[in-house]
Amino acid sequence: MNQSDLSQTQQAILDFIAERIETDGVAPAQTEIARAFGFKGVRAAQYHLEALEAAGAIARSPGKARSLKLLRPPSRVQAALDLETLSEDAMRLPILGQVAAGAPIGADIGSDSYVVLDRVFFSPKPDYLLRVKGDSMRDEGIFDGDLIGVHRTNDARNGQIVVARIDEEITVKLFRNGRDGIRLLPRNPDYAPIEVMPGQDFAIEGLYCGLIRPSA
């Protein structure tokens, strides 16, 4: 296996590893990779890391945390070269899976595709796209099948639309944090709010920052 045989998800993980090494000085842990890409557990991250190692793109030290080393440049280097022929406002974004606008669903790790988009569609700048499933956010203009841009962050203010993880399930909702706890609110009266209960594994994965609607 060589690097040209990698899936788009594996190329995106390679980019993510390179970015974290560049900004933090250390490689991300497997749990961080799993969370960043919406995997249900670390086993999916391990599978992709094994593929990267088999392709000679990374090296790992068994039993040693954060021991990933890059052996070849990530795809973002080639992506930057590809974008030289495009507008300076163009972005190449991975579609990492799907997110529920309804009851939470597991993230789909089967999407291995990229799209090139103009920055004008989004604010702040997105890190990836997720495909919406369901219509609980229809009154915000977010419909089933839309691709939403997600800016990676663990912080959110009341009233912002977030992509959140609840017990390893992913959903997009309006964020509220009050005296009675965290609530994730739909924007469709046919759906009930989601109450985040004490003891649940909850995290904000990112902020909604715009969408595109694929043509039929």
3-state secondary structure (DSSP) of residue 77: helix
By percentage, how much of the chain surpasses pLDDT 90? 26
Q: What does the chain come to in residues?
A: 216
Kindly report the average pLDDT of the chain as a whole number. 80
Pick from 35-39, 87-91, 146-150, 182-186 the range whose average pLDDT is largest. 182-186
What pTM value is reported for the model?
0.58
Span 67-117, pLDDT tens digits: 788 886 555 444 443 444 445 567 778 777 778 777 665 554 444 466 777
Which two tokens mark 193? Answer: 């709010």
Q: Which of 28-32, 105-109, 118-122, 168-172 has the lowest mean pLDDT?
A: 105-109
DSSP of 6-57, one letter per residue? --HHHHHHHHHHHHHHHHHSSPPPHHHHHHHTT-SSHHHHHHHHHHHHHTTS
Q: Are 26 and 64 in contact, with CB atoms under 8 Å apart?
A: no
Q: Which of 52-66, 83-97, 121-135, 187-201 has the lowest mean pLDDT?
A: 83-97
Residue with tokens 């933090």: 24
Q: Of 75, 111, 133, 136, which is the active-site residue? A: 136
Look at residue 105 in the predicted model and tell me its pLDDT: 54
Burial class (CB in 10 A: 0-12, 13-18, 19+), 25: exposed
Q: Is a pLDDT exceeding 50 seen at residue 197?
A: yes
Whole-angstrom distance, CA of residue 62 vs CA of residue 58? 13
3-state secondary structure (DSSP) of residue 162: strand
State the virtual CA torsion across 147, 171, 140, 215 in degrees, nearest 10: 20
Look at residue 110 in the predicted model and tell me its pLDDT: 42
Residue scoring higher pLDDT (16 or 153): 153
DSSP of 92-127, one letter per residue? EEEEEEEEESSS-BPPPTT--EEEEEEGGG-SS--S
Q: Does 173 qualify as catalytic in the annotation?
A: yes
Look at residue 77 in the predicted model and tell me its pLDDT: 41
Q: Does 215 qualify as catalytic in the annotation?
A: no
3-state secondary structure (DSSP) of residue 131: strand
**Residue type for position 193:** P
Q: Is a pLDDT exceeding 70 seen at residue 185?
A: yes
Look at residue 181 in the predicted model and tell me its pLDDT: 92
Decide the pairing of beta strands 90-100 and 128-133: parallel
